[in-house]
């Protein structure tokens, strides 16, 4: 775990504390991101750091470090954890202040990070999903990965209450949008890959990676057909 407020990495959970007057804690003024750890490597870390910095900018949070600085802290935190399979979750917060709505007394923005060990296998046989009745976030908030995940939590709970894995949001025109912590894509019978545009939903690093890999497959297929 890492806290820029404490100024270092700790492997003792009791030492990892967030001040109650942190604007992220009492007003939800924080953003976060999660990257997978596979075989000891952080997957697509640059993309994830770029996304948290975009979210921070939307939330008007001035980060304590730049892209490279955040990346270095995260790599050192994963290294100290010795975790080989799991995820890295990290937050940028407006930081400690005076419990007011305005962050004007929050003079020190914060970076926090946690490594979460997890070797749960992927669901290769598919999962059941339902349509969410929880209202979708407006585009400005859906495209920002802020800590305000109450709709996402309620959507996941709705799925579990109905024996499903996830609830999928529809946008205001009734088109498929996204799940509470995942993007949605379809492969049609004609072998077309269809994915909602990222203008009203979170621009998912996994979805973007799928698009990149799919482009490679299409190119390879065309070469074979030549
Ligand atoms: C609302 C939402 N959509 C999509 C995603 C998928 O994003 P990624 O593939 O970058 O993990 C997430 C990730 O947690 C999410 O919270």
CA of 179 to the centre of ligand 1 (A): 8
Catalytic residue, candidates 137, 145, 156, 200: 145
Question: According to the model, what pLDDT value does residue 224 have?
Answer: 87
Q: What is the pLDDT at residue 144?
A: 98
**Are the beta carbons of 67 and 49 closer than 8 angstroms?**
yes
Determine the distance separating the centroid of ligand 1 and the alpha carbon of 80, expressed in angstroms.
26
33 lines ligand 1 (CB under 6 A): no
As assigned by CATH, the class of the 129-225 domain is alpha beta
CA-proximal residue: ligand 1, atom 16 (nearest): 181
What's the confidence (pLDDT) of residue 6? 95
The pLDDT, as a whole number, for residue 226 is 80
Answer whether 178 contacts ligand 1 (Cβ < 6 A): yes
The ranges of the chain with pLDDT < 70 are none
Mapped onto helix, strand or coil, the DSSP state of residue 145 is: coil
Question: In ligand 1, which atom is closest to the CA atom of 51?
Answer: 10
Q: What pLDDT is stored for residue 99 in this prediction? A: 97
pLDDT at 136: 97
Q: Which CATH class is domain 2-117?
A: alpha beta
CB 78, CB 95: distance < 8 Å: no
Q: Is 145 annotated in the active site?
A: yes
Tokens 């910095």 correspond to 53
Residue of the CA atom closest to atom 12 of ligand 1: 181
For residue 54, the model assigns a pLDDT of 98
The residues of the chain that CATH labels 3.20.10.10 are 129-225
Q: Are 142 and 200 contacting, i.e. CB atoms less than 8 angstroms apart?
A: yes
Crossing angle for the helix pair 205-225 and 45-58, to the nearest 10 degrees: 130
Which residues of the chain form CATH 3.30.470.10? Answer: 2-117
Q: What is the spatial distance between Cα 28 and Cα 33, in angstroms, rounded to a whole number?
A: 15
- CA dist 150 and 148 (Å) reads 6
Question: What spacing in Å lies between the alpha carbon of 184 and ligand 1's midpoint?
Answer: 10
Does the beta carbon of 202 sit less than 6 angstroms from any atom of ligand 1?
A: yes
pLDDT at 124: 85
The residue whose CA has the least distance to atom 15 of ligand 1 is: 181
Q: How far is the CA of 8 from the centre of ligand 1 (A)?
A: 28
Answer yes or no: are the C-beta atoms of 96 and 124 closer than 8 Å: no
Which of 88, 137, 181 maximizes ligand 1 atoms within 8 Å of its Cβ, making it the mutation to test the pocket? 181
Looking at residue 13, what is its pLDDT? 93
């Amino acid at each position: 775990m890492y806290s820029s407020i404490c100024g270092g990495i700790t492997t003792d959970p009791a030492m990892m504390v967030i001040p109650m007057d942190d604007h992220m804690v009492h007003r939800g003024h924080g953003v976060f991101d999660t990257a997978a750890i596979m075989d000891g490597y952080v997957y697509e870390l640059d993309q994830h750091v770029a996304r948290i910095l975009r979210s921070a900018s939307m939330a008007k949070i001035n980060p304590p470090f730049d892209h490279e600085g955040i990346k270095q802290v995260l790599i050192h935190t994963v290294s100290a954890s010795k975790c080989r399979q799991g995820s890295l979750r990290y937050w940028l917060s407006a930081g400690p202040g005076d419990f007011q709505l305005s962050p004007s007394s929050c003079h020190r923005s914060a970076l926090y990070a946690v490594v979460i060990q997890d070797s749960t296998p992927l669901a290769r046989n598919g999962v059941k999903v339902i349509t969410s009745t929880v209202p979708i976030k407006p585009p400005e908030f859906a495209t920002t990965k802020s800590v305000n995940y109450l709709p996402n939590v309620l959507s996941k709970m709705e799925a579990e209450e109905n024996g499903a894995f996830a609830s999928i949001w529809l946008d205001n025109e009734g088109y498929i949008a996204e799940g509470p912590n995942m993007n949605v894509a379809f492969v049609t019978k004609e072998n077309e890959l269809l994915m909602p545009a990222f203008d009203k939903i979170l621009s998912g690093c996994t979805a973007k990676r799928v698009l990149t890999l799919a482009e490679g497959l299409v190119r390879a297929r065309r070469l074979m057909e030549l």
